[in-house]
Amino acid sequence: MSEAPLVDMRGISIAFGGIKAVDNVDVDLHEGEVVALLGHNGAGKSTLIKILSGAYRPDSGEILIRGQKVDIATPRDAKRYGIETIYQTLALADNVDAAANIFLGRERVSRLGMLDDAAMEAETRKVMGRLNPHFRRFKEPVRALSGGQRQSVAIARAIYFDARILIMDEPTAALGPAETKQVGDLVKELKKQGIGIFLISHDIHDVFDLADRVAVMKNGQLVGTAHVGDVTEDEVLGMIILGKCPPGARPGPGALRG
Amino acid sequence: MSRWLQTLEISPRLVGMLVALAVIWTGFHVASGGAFLTPRNLWNLSVQTASIAVMACGMVLIIVTRNIDLSVGSMLGFIGMIIGVVQAQYLPAIWGLEHPATWVVAVGVAIAAGAALGAFQGSIIAYLGVPSFIVTLGGLLIWRGMAWWVTQGQTIAPMDSRFRPIGGGIDGAIGANLSWLLGIGACAIILALAFLTRKRREAFGFHLRPLWAEALVAAMLCGVVLGAVLVANSYPLPAGVARRIVEAGGGTWPQGGIFIAHGLAIPVLIAIAVGVSVTVLATRMRFGRYVFAIGGNPEAAELSGVNTRRTLMLVYALMGALVGIAACISTARLNAATNAAGTLDELYVIAAAVIGGTSLAGGVGTILGAMLGALIMQSLQSGMVLLGVDTPLQNIVVGLVLVVAVWLDTIYNKRVK
């Protein structure tokens, strides 16, 4: 791994009202790699990732994209660096249709500045056809869609714009077994295309088969990182619950001492 | 019936409003012994609706973003006083009375002042995070106070003669020939747009509504346009005015007089132009898409890279500019600027938007609905005036109608789900 990682977050800290939600965390992500970011609810995973996606600004620390130091102040900045995020809440505007959501903030317009809805609908049909071939409800507000269909729209929005770095926050939390498998297949497919993926989960079973590495957080600190081949699921569970770093992992500042 | 509407792609809510309007109109027509559905009454009704309808267009967008603006009535009063002073005192002192550019400056000042006041309120709401209800409640008091302050409560009159047509009245209509020309032009645009939209959908291979449905919708729209022209052209100018026009043209006034039509009223044309423009802005442009996305899920809009604060500020600036236009209409109509102008207008504007199907929960609303809502409200009031109903009772009826309309809408929404 001589070349610079796709993403390198160094010494990231952020506090809300005196509580350190993220405390001096280092994580990195390489091309075509899946890194699972694990930890209990409130461990700081989502906050860390919201810093990368531009929703929060860190109090300290730096972010490097392919070795270049970058300043990500807004979600728009993040998208410019090819960082796309699928939020746990999906972050869809319920009152507009799939195409409007997929292109939200990046609408196709004609020369006169008019929205080109027909072109956007056509593109939406294409990308949804790949993700969810049974999807037909292009004209309805996404409020009317099922959980799996809404998830497809959120994923389509992330991958349509040539993402290089994809963040998936609890991507399978609300899905049935068939849809969970679909998301798994999609992760493998995107990995093949060289996209780097952060998978965030509080449930190790969801992600252990998909991930190349795991990074475990506890109380805002990094317990450690490990290649999935070097540790067992039980050892990772020990990292999540106790903060105990096994021999196969590289310990972080949050590792239990002694 | 509902399948039929689905094929036509007409919203049932719109049909409901048109039915309500038809019931109100025929009801008043019968009750007043045939005085309501006359060209004269309908023409006046359209002029009286214009100012509220213009403001309702902006209010829809504000309510769609889950906010409110209680200050529009007071703002109208304040801007009315400003443009009154500008055209009756400042400009005559520089240019003399009745300068041809006076009305242009007055209208420009009204729109600019409105946009500035709106942007000011919007900035406090968007960037400082003060709830819009509070900011505009403050605005309601502040602008009304300022309206008084401009002249220490004095009424200013008369307005410039080139400004007055903006408010309608005898000089405020465009005549029969121009009305027909506009009507036919509008029909041509309706047909061309229907054709182009269909071609485009066809090119992408999307679902098309049947040709008969397309034709029926276009025919109905053209029918409404031409019907409105016909009504406006059936309302004659008063004999004295007609005589003056004939004699000014070098003709002689014949025995028994001749028929010269009003034609469409200028304030109504302004309101329609505003309605069309804001509809395009709301449904065909990025800005409108962001407004609706913010109303649906503010956090999602923010995370998608939409500049939600700036968008919200601009929505208020637009509302202010529309208040400026409405201030021109009502000041010109009254031919005077008074510090009480626009009192309670905020409530009529909000009621028009809500009757028109704008959801106070945000994310849902149409400009056309709000303008129809304004027309329904004004029809009720004009009808009651025609029947000689006392003002307090008028308010009671309008209040009841508002509550019942929203209640019916709630029932409808539950059944749709």
Token readout for B36 is 């309501």
* Residues forming a β-bridge with A168: A86, A199
Is residue A76 within 8 A of residue A105, CB to CB? The reply is: yes
Q: Nearest CB to A92: which of B292, B300, B305?
A: B300
A115/B204 CB distance under 8 A: no
Max mean pLDDT range (A241-250, B126-135, B206-215): B126-135
Q: Is A242 on the interface with B (CB under 8 A)?
A: no
The mean pLDDT of B169-185, rounded to a whole number, is: 93
Amino acid occupying residue B225: V
Distance between CA B180 and CA B228 in Å, rounded? 10
**Which value does ipTM take for this structure?**
0.87
The pLDDT tens digits of the residues spanning A184-202 come to 888 888 898 899 999 998 7
* φ/ψ bin of B263: left (φ > 0), alpha (ψ from -120 to 50), beta (otherwise): left
Q: Is B26 on the interface with A (CB under 8 A)?
A: no
Lowest mean pLDDT among A71-75, A128-132, B212-216, B262-266: A128-132
B296/A96 CB distance under 8 A: yes
Distance between CA B58 and CA B407 in Å, rounded? 23
Which residues of A fall within a CB distance of 8 Å from B295?
95
Q: In a 10 Å sphere around its CB, with 0-12 CB exposed, 13-18 middle and 19+ buried, how is residue A114 labelled?
A: middle
Q: Is the pLDDT of residue B94 over 80?
A: yes
pLDDT at B223: 96
Q: Is the pLDDT of residue B265 over 90?
A: yes
Q: Nearest CB to A109: which of B286, B293, B299?
A: B286
Q: Nearest CB to B284: which of A100, A105, A115?
A: A115
Question: If pLDDT is split at 50, 70 and 90, which confidence band does A254 have?
Answer: confident
A95/B301 CB distance under 8 A: no
Strand, coil or helix: A248: coil
Q: Which residue has the tokens 């409003």?
A: B17
Q: In a 10 Å sphere around its CB, with 0-12 CB exposed, 13-18 middle and 19+ buried, how is residue B251 labelled?
A: exposed
Q: Is the pLDDT of residue B1 over 70?
A: no
Between B285 and B7, residue with greater pLDDT: B285
Which residues of B fall within a CB distance of 8 Å from A97?
none
CA distance B362 to chain A (A): 9
- The answer to whether the pTM exceeds 0.95 is no
B206/A121 CB distance under 8 A: yes
Distance between CA B139 and CA B119 in Å, rounded? 12
Q: Which residue has the tokens 């049947």?
A: B210
Q: Which residue has the tokens 């329609």?
A: B272
Is residue B14 within 8 A of residue B368, CB to CB? The reply is: yes
CA distance B54 to chain A (A): 23
Comparing CA positions, the residue from B125, B144, B14, B133 lying closest to residue B80 is: B144
Q: Is B291 on the interface with A (CB under 8 A)?
A: no
Q: Is B357 on the interface with A (CB under 8 A)?
A: no
* φ/ψ bin of B232: left (φ > 0), alpha (ψ from -120 to 50), beta (otherwise): alpha
Question: If pLDDT is split at 50, 70 and 90, which confidence band does B414 have?
Answer: confident
CA distance B307 to chain A (A): 9
Q: Nearest CB to A91: which of B206, B292, B297?
A: B297
CA distance B216 to chain A (A): 22
A93/B293 CB distance under 8 A: yes
The torsion angles phi and psi of A114, rounded to 5 degrees, stand at: -90, 140
Distance between CA A150 and CA A236 in Å, rounded? 31
CA B184 remoteness from chain centre? 22
* A residues 155..214 contacting B (CB < 8 A): 157
Which residues of A fall within a CB distance of 8 Å from B290?
105
Give the residue on B whose Cα is nearest the Cα of A118: B201
Across chain B, mean pLDDT equals: 93
DSSP B114-183: HHHHHHHHHHHHHHS---HHHHHHHHHHHHHHHHHHHHTT--B-PPPTTTGGGG-STTSB--HHHHHHHH
pLDDT at B255: 82
Strand residue runs (E) in chain A: 7-16, 19-29, 34-38, 60-65, 68-70, 83-86, 165-169, 196-201, 213-218, 221-227, 250-251
The torsion angles phi and psi of B341, rounded to 5 degrees, stand at: -60, 140
Distance between CA A34 and CA A210 in Å, rounded? 7
Token readout for B406 is 């929203």
Question: If pLDDT is split at 50, 70 and 90, which confidence band does B310 have?
Answer: very high
Q: In a 10 Å sphere around its CB, with 0-12 CB exposed, 13-18 middle and 19+ buried, how is residue B241 labelled?
A: middle
Instruction: Tell me how crowded residue B14 is: count the other CB atoms within 10 A of its CB.
Output: 16
DSSP H or E run through B221: helix B211-232
Q: Is the pLDDT of residue A1 over 70?
A: no
A76/B305 CB distance under 8 A: yes
Is residue B55 within 8 A of residue B345, CB to CB? The reply is: yes
Across chain A, mean pLDDT equals: 89
The pLDDT tens digits of the residues spanning A63-87 come to 999 999 999 999 999 999 999 999 8
Q: Is A124 on the interface with B (CB under 8 A)?
A: no
Between B16 and A178, residue with greater pLDDT: B16
The conformation of residue B233, written as its DSSP 8-state character, comes to: T
Is residue B236 within 8 A of residue B263, CB to CB? The reply is: no
Give the residue on A whose Cα is nearest the Cα of B363: A95
Cα B207–B210–B216 angle (5° rounding)?
130
Percent of chain A with pLDDT over 70: 98
B296/A94 CB distance under 8 A: yes
Inter-chain Cβ pairs, chain A and chain B, closer than 8 A: 83
Question: If pLDDT is split at 50, 70 and 90, which confidence band does B209 have?
Answer: confident
Q: Is the pLDDT of residue A181 over 90?
A: no
Contacts of B193 (CB under 8 A, 6+ apart): none
The mean pLDDT of A51-74, rounded to a whole number, is: 93
3-state secondary structure A74-111: CHHHHHHCCEEEECCCCCCCCCCEHHHHHCCCCCCECC
A75/B363 CB distance under 8 A: no
The pLDDT tens digits of the residues spanning B329-348 come to 999 999 999 999 999 999 99
Question: If pLDDT is split at 50, 70 and 90, which confidence band does A183 have?
Answer: confident
Token readout for B183 is 């009507």
The mean pLDDT of B31-38, rounded to a whole number, is: 94
Q: Is the pLDDT of residue A136 over 90?
A: no
pLDDT at B417: 57
A79/B201 CB distance under 8 A: no
Is residue A51 within 8 A of residue A22, CB to CB? The reply is: yes
Give the residue on A whose Cα is nearest the Cα of B64: A95
Instruction: Tell me how crowded residue B277 is: count the other CB atoms within 10 A of its CB.
Output: 13
Is residue B68 within 8 A of residue B263, CB to CB? The reply is: no
Strand, coil or helix: A34: strand
The torsion angles phi and psi of A172, rounded to 5 degrees, stand at: -115, 10
pLDDT at A56: 93
Q: Is B40 on the interface with A (CB under 8 A)?
A: no
Q: Is the pLDDT of residue B401 over 60?
A: yes
* φ/ψ bin of B34: left (φ > 0), alpha (ψ from -120 to 50), beta (otherwise): left
CA distances from B116 to A212, B66, B85, B125, B340 (A): 56, 22, 18, 14, 21
Strand, coil or helix: A168: strand
Burial call B214-229: b when 16+ CB within 10 Å, e when fewer: beebbeebbeebeebb
Q: Nearest CB to A91: which of B200, B299, B363?
A: B299
The torsion angles phi and psi of B89, rounded to 5 degrees, stand at: -125, -55
A93/B301 CB distance under 8 A: yes
The mean pLDDT of A37-41, rounded to a whole number, is: 90
Q: Which residue has the tokens 């002042």?
A: B113
Token readout for B207 is 């679902």
Q: Is the pLDDT of residue B8 over 80?
A: no
Percent of chain B with pLDDT over 90: 79
